[in-house]
């Protein structure tokens, strides 16, 4: 029976590969930004994405935005292109932490865009401020033949007082099924304390 199940699983993975999905599976332990990942900045103030260490699984991507009398400033971090040829649902999960000085004029976002049309968001989720790392997971309906990018944006916006936000992400997985056994990290589902 074990052998039989093994054959079934192997066949399922082969089928998933055959439809052309490019998995995104990034733990940010290597060079930064990882190959194919890009950053973009806008507004007036200080904004950056960089590699930091000491996260729940070692190194992670750290975004920051700070504004002091300058209005909106933002920093975006974008995954490599991926597709889901033959599929119409893409599943995503990542660990994140979001922290700011809490005046409601700073925050973080996750969204998916068409790779050829980055202004067109087909999935948009606001990220909730957290005092610790947590998992964020969901799915999005997509067209089977397009290519996409996943994006994270941290922002701050104020003309009168100093505002800042930090967004941390780690263990990003984008696949054609939730909890894909081929790309799932050992830490999936855990909530971990960070700010101590």
Strand partners, 162: 68
Using CB under 5 A as the binding rule, whether residue 170 contacts Ca ion is answered as yes
Q: Are 90 and 145 spatial neighbours (Cβ–Cβ below 8 Å)? A: no
Q: Which of residues 4-43 bind Ca ion (CB under 5 A)?
A: 27-28
Residues contacting Ca ion: total by CB under 5 A: 7
- Provide the Cα torsion 146, 147, 150, 153; round to 10°: -90
Closest CB 29 distance from Ca ion, rounded Å: 5
Residue among 53, 78, 50, 52 nearest 65 (CA): 50
CA quadruple 156, 127, 98, 148: dihedral sign: negative
Closest CB to Ca ion among 58 and 69? Answer: 58
Here the tokens at position 82 are 């991926």
Cα-based distances in Å from 133 to 145, 171, 192? 34, 11, 5
Closest CB to Ca ion among 110 and 168? Answer: 168
Which listed range, 60-68, 86-94, 138-146, 187-195, lies at the site for Ca ion (CB under 5 A)?
Answer: 60-68
Q: Where are the alpha helices (DSSP H) in 28-108?
A: none
Q: Are 141 and 88 spatial neighbours (Cβ–Cβ below 8 Å)? A: yes
Closest CB 39 distance from Ca ion, rounded Å: 18
Which listed range, 78-86, 147-155, 166-174, 185-193, lies at the site for Ca ion (CB under 5 A)?
Answer: 166-174
The site map against Ca ion for 133-162 (x = CB under 5 A) is ------------------------------
Which listed range, 10-18, 59-67, 92-100, 111-119, lies at the site for Ca ion (CB under 5 A)?
Answer: 59-67
Q: Where are the alpha helices (DSSP H) in the chain?
A: 2-18
Closest CB 99 distance from Ca ion, rounded Å: 18
Closest CB to Ca ion among 170 and 176? Answer: 170
Residue among 185, 172, 153, 171 nearest 55 (CA): 171
Closest CB 171 distance from Ca ion, rounded Å: 6
Using CB under 5 A as the binding rule, whether residue 58 contacts Ca ion is answered as yes
Which chain residues interact with Ca ion by CB under 5 A? Answer: 27-28, 57-60, 170
């Amino acid at each position: 029976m074990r052998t039989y199940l093994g054959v079934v699983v192997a066949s399922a993975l082969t089928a998933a590969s055959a439809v052309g999905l490019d998995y995104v599976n990034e733990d940010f332990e290597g060079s930064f930004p990882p190959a194919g990942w890009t950053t973009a900045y806008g507004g007036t103030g200080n904004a950056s994405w960089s590699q930091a260490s000491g996260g729940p699984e070692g190194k992670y991507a750290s975004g920051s935005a700070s504004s002091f009398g300058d209005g909106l400033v933002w920093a975006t971090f974008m995954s490599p292109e991926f597709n889901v040829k033959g599929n119409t649902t893409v599943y995503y999960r990542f660990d994140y932490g979001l922290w700011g000085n809490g005046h409601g004029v700073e925050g973080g976002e996750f969204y998916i865009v068409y790779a050829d049309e980055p202004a067109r968001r087909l999935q948009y989720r606001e990220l909730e401020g957290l005092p610790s790392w947590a998992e964020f997971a969901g799915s999005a309906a997509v067209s089977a033949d397009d290519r996409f990018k996943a994006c994270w944006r941290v922002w701050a916006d104020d003309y009168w007082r100093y505002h800042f936000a930090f967004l941390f992400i780690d263990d990003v997985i984008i696949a054609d099924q939730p909890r894909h056994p081929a790309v799932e990290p050992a830490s999936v589902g855990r909530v971990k304390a960070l700010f101590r």
